[in-house]
Amino acid sequence: MNDDGSMELTIGRLARRTGMSVRTIRYWSDLGVLPPVGRSSGGYRLYDAESVARLELVRTLRELGLGLDDVRRVLAGETSVAEVAAVHVAALDARIRALKVSRAVLSSVAKRDSTTEETALMNRLARLSADERRRIIEDFMEEVFGGLDIDDELRGRLRHASIDLPDDPTPDQVDAWIELAELLQDPEFRAGMRTMMRLNSPLPGTGEAAPGASIWFARQVVQVVGEARERGIEPTGPEAARIIHDLFGDADPAEVLLRLEAGSAAGAVRYRQLVARVRGREPQPSHTEEFAWLVTALGAERVG
């Protein structure tokens, strides 16, 4: 302490008082963030109590991730801590989202035992912009639906289900999106879904759907078949034949079976499961057993 009661600290004493290194304090001082209040007779930098408070503020802002330019602007009164903090919150949010995407990609790579090429593709798909993701979906929809006279309800269901990633996706949503994006760009899958949609289109010149159309979206079919299975009804027996007739009327079993197999071949179930996961929902049951029973029953009716 000086004769006038003021307290002046050398860099060494300031370092011991604050627990910071002399090197860091000198660096910040050289940059003008922590200017000395004076010099000793020997030319050493001197600091006071206000310097201690200033140094604590600088350390706090740096620990929160602010750059030295931002720190200098705050200390110079050019901006407030609140304003700088708001900017950094937005930057941190973006960084957190990017880290989540990286984690999801690495998780998928580990799970799939991916090659270098597959890893690069998954990383590119995961980091597409919202507009790029939307174009993938729209291109898929146009190729599948374009020119087809599809039932409005069915079209609406599929379009509504084709949803994009949220702004803050979970790792599972990113993982599902990667697989969905790969699927939507697969020519074989597109062709299969196109065939499925064509078979579910209204009959030419009638404006009415063929009997058994939209079978992959008919909850009634799943419910009726599920009840039949619970009752132990064999798919090749006479009671199953009556159920098939009640469901599809006089429709040709072979035609109904064709529509059912088209959806299976296209991968409609996997598509719906991935869409559900991207939307952050639990995928609906695939009803594999119900559809297997139905395939057998329709096959028996076709032969009969």
pLDDT tens digit sequence for 104-142: 888 878 888 888 888 888 888 888 887 888 888 889 888
Residue whose structure tokens are 């002046």:
8
Start-to-end Cα distance in the chain: 108
| Rounded-to-10 torsion of CA 242, 243, 244, 250 | 60
CATH no. for 11-75: 1.10.1660.10
Comparing C-alpha atoms, which of 138, 141, 276, 144 is closest to residue 200?
Answer: 144
Give me the residue spans of the domains in the chain.
Answer: 11-75, 80-127, 128-303
Six-digit token string for 108: 């998928």
Percent of the chain exceeding pLDDT 70 equals: 86
Angstrom distance (rounded) from CA 190 to CA 187:
5
| Residues 81/70, Cβ–Cβ less than 8 Å | no
Say whether 41 sits in a helix, a strand or coil: coil
23 against 126, higher pLDDT? 23
pTM of the model: 0.58
Segment holding 75, helix H or strand E? helix 68-75
How does 246-259 read in b/e, with b if 16+ C-beta sit within 10 Å?
ebbeebebebbbeb
Six-digit token string for 75: 């200390």
What is the per-residue pLDDT for 27? 92
pLDDT tens digit sequence for 70-108: 888 888 888 888 888 888 888 788 788 778 788 888 887
What is the per-residue pLDDT for 8? 86
Q: 112 vs 106, 119, 266, 272, 277, CA distance in Å?
A: 10, 10, 22, 21, 18
